[in-house]
Chain A
Amino acid sequence: MEKGPGVSNTDDNDTSSNGTTRRGFLTQITYAGAGLTLAPLLVRTKNILPGAPPGSAETSTINLTVNGQKHALNIDERTTLLDALRENLQMTGTKKGCDHGQCGACTVLINGRRINSCLTFAAMCQNSEITTIEGLAKGDGLHPMQEAFIKHDAFQCGYCTPGQICSAVGLMNENHVHTDADIHELMSGNICRCGAYQNIVDAIKEVKNIA
């Protein structure tokens, strides 16, 4: 379920001056609008959130290694890796966009390879090293791809950015990029509604040239 204000210390829960958190606010407006056009969306979303689904759920205790840290979780078997990260571990850096593997906002690295966490059951990731956007920086030192995204202004609203950066890091690991066209093709699994594509390509080229 959505956590209320002050549940965790992640960025989405930063408390504003009037005591409302960003996530808390989003939750409130979601419920306020639920009787209107958002109703079908809300029903679908609730179905896939841990803690809320209908029917008698199969639950199990699983172990996930995220950014080098081991976590034991008691979860509904239906929980995707994306929901486990966001809702169970409160690691909200990984974003939920389409939730159907079409937008790339949920991209994380599994054993160094980029995947869509929305199409992966958390219980199937127990023997893997999962790296999220929160795990790329080393202490206060940003990952070179994060530095490059900032330097080249490779985002506007920022919602797709964690997925873009994780995907770009995966792209570097794969080592199949030779031209700009290769970057366009091999980043096609990440959609940017703001259209920051050219700057994203510039950021990736910068990291590639350093490497």
Chain B
Amino acid sequence: MEPFKLIHPNDQHTAIASSGGANVKFIAGGTNLVDLMKLDIEKPAQLVDINSLKLQTIETLSNGNVRIGALVKNSDLAYHPVIMKNYPVLSEALLSGASPQIRNMATVGGNLLQRTRCPYFYDTSFPCNKRVPGSGCSAINGYNRMNAILGTSSQCIATHPSDMCVAMAALGAIVHVEGLRGKREIPFHEFHLLPGQTPQYETTLKHGELITAVEIPAIPYAAKSHYLKVRDRHSYEFALASAAVILNVVNGRIQTARVALGGVGTRPWRAVLAEKVLTGALANEQTYRTAAEAALSEAKPHKDNAFKIELAKRTLVRALKTVGGMS
């Protein structure tokens, strides 16, 4: 691990003011960053420990939205009574990710910035455009069973690893950030970038900007929602495919649908094409299957991961059945 300077500001203003230099990173739970530093993938010159900032609360706002401080631990969010009751999709997504120890450390803000677990990103002896721009992608012609089938490019097929972000994508969350030039709000679907020709850029966060909160909208029907994750082992494993589903079904007809997929996309994948099929349709197996076909219609398989297309479809159908039932 490269040497770095570690500072511990007590307030947000000082933390943001300390982050302007080159190669400065904020650190909260550290569950991903410390690992990447041990492997010499991340080499910050300075770390700004933000754990003393007052960003630890979960509050219901006057408009019914729920504002989650960036430093709220994954476990605290997952077991929060409001989240368990009104947003089970989010609670289930959080509890399906990592281990209890890591969930006690990892924060909501950090989760948004989680890096891919593509093995070629992790192994510094291989070319990787995300790690060393322009060096090439080892996964495209390598062992790519875990890699993405949606949103890929000729430069990168790395899967976005987060479960929480898949639920956040379905919920249409808003990311609150603050930098030296002030505050702004980023809609969730504009937060993560597709790899395109520049896979080293993963979010629209600007240098020095700090995530302060994630706000989830009041969605009364989200109390009926579900996150289904399919993986190689039952626990403590990344998704092969996952689905976050929120449906408003009235008299057997789907009024509104919010659907996102995980384990298959280069970013948390809002399945807009599936939502179009579902909206206004009868809640039955045929609708679910048609929606799943639409969701994966643009999928591009690689040598080892073509199985993910059918797996993701079945995962989505199962999750839709769980939430929407059969009319």
Residues of A contacting B: mostly: mixed
Residue on B with the closest CB to A99? B38
Pairwise interchain contact B3-A114, C-beta atoms closer than 8 A: no
Pairwise interchain contact A116-B3, C-beta atoms closer than 8 A: no
Of A107, A116, A123, which is in contact with the most chain B CB atoms at under 10 Å from its CB? A116
Residue on B with the closest CB to A78? B1
| Bound-complex Cα distance A115 to B27 (A) | 16
> Quick check: which of B98-106, B215-223, B316-324 contacts chain A, the rest being far away?
B98-106
**Min CB gap B121→A, angstroms:** 14
Q: Contact check: which of A53, A76, A116, A124 meets B49 at CB < 8 Å? A: A124
| Bound-complex Cα distance A180 to B31 (A) | 28
**Min CB gap A174→B, angstroms:** 7
Chain A 1-58 residues near chain B, CB threshold 8 A: 47-48, 53, 55-58
Q: Which residues of B contact A93 (CB under 8 A)?
A: none
Q: Does B236 contact A (CB under 8 A)?
A: yes
Pairwise interchain contact A124-B30, C-beta atoms closer than 8 A: yes
Q: Which residues of A contact B99 (CB under 8 A)?
A: 101, 104, 188-190
Q: Contact check: which of B6, B79, B105 meets A115 at CB < 8 Å? A: B105
Of B34, B49, B98, which is in contact with the most chain A CB atoms at under 10 Å from its CB? B34
**Min CB gap A169→B, angstroms:** 12
Q: Does A184 contact B (CB under 8 A)?
A: yes
Q: Contact check: which of B4, B30, B35, B100 meets A58 at CB < 8 Å? A: B4
Pairwise interchain contact A171-B38, C-beta atoms closer than 8 A: no
Q: Does A170 contact B (CB under 8 A)?
A: yes
Chain A 98-146 residues near chain B, CB threshold 8 A: 99-101, 104, 107, 113-116, 119-121, 123-124
Q: Which residues of A contact B5 (CB under 8 A)?
A: 58, 77
Q: Which residues of A contact B153 (CB under 8 A)?
A: none
Pairwise interchain contact A48-B3, C-beta atoms closer than 8 A: no
Q: Which residues of B contact A187 (CB under 8 A)?
A: 100
Pairwise interchain contact B236-A189, C-beta atoms closer than 8 A: yes
**Min CB gap B324→A, angstroms:** 26
Known contacts A77-B5, A121-B6, A124-B51: A189-B102 contact under CB 8 Å: yes
Q: Which residues of B contact A178 (CB under 8 A)?
A: none
Pairwise interchain contact A167-B100, C-beta atoms closer than 8 A: yes
**Min CB gap B144→A, angstroms:** 22
Pairwise interchain contact A101-B100, C-beta atoms closer than 8 A: no
Residue on B with the closest CB to A123? B6
Pairwise interchain contact A186-B3, C-beta atoms closer than 8 A: no
Q: Which residues of B contact A113 (CB under 8 A)?
A: 104
User: Can you offer 24 A-B residue contacts whose CB atoms are under 8 A?
Assistant: A53-B3, A55-B3, A56-B3, A77-B3, A78-B3, A101-B102, A107-B101, A113-B104, A115-B104, A116-B31, A116-B105, A119-B34, A120-B34, A120-B105, A121-B30, A123-B49, A124-B27, A124-B51, A167-B100, A170-B100, A174-B75, A185-B234, A185-B235, A190-B99
Q: Which 4 A-B pairs have the closest CB atoms?
A: A189-B99, A188-B235, A188-B236, A189-B101
Residues on B lying within 8 angstroms of A by beta carbon are: 1-6, 8, 27, 30-31, 34-35, 38, 49, 51, 75, 79, 98-102, 104-105, 234-236
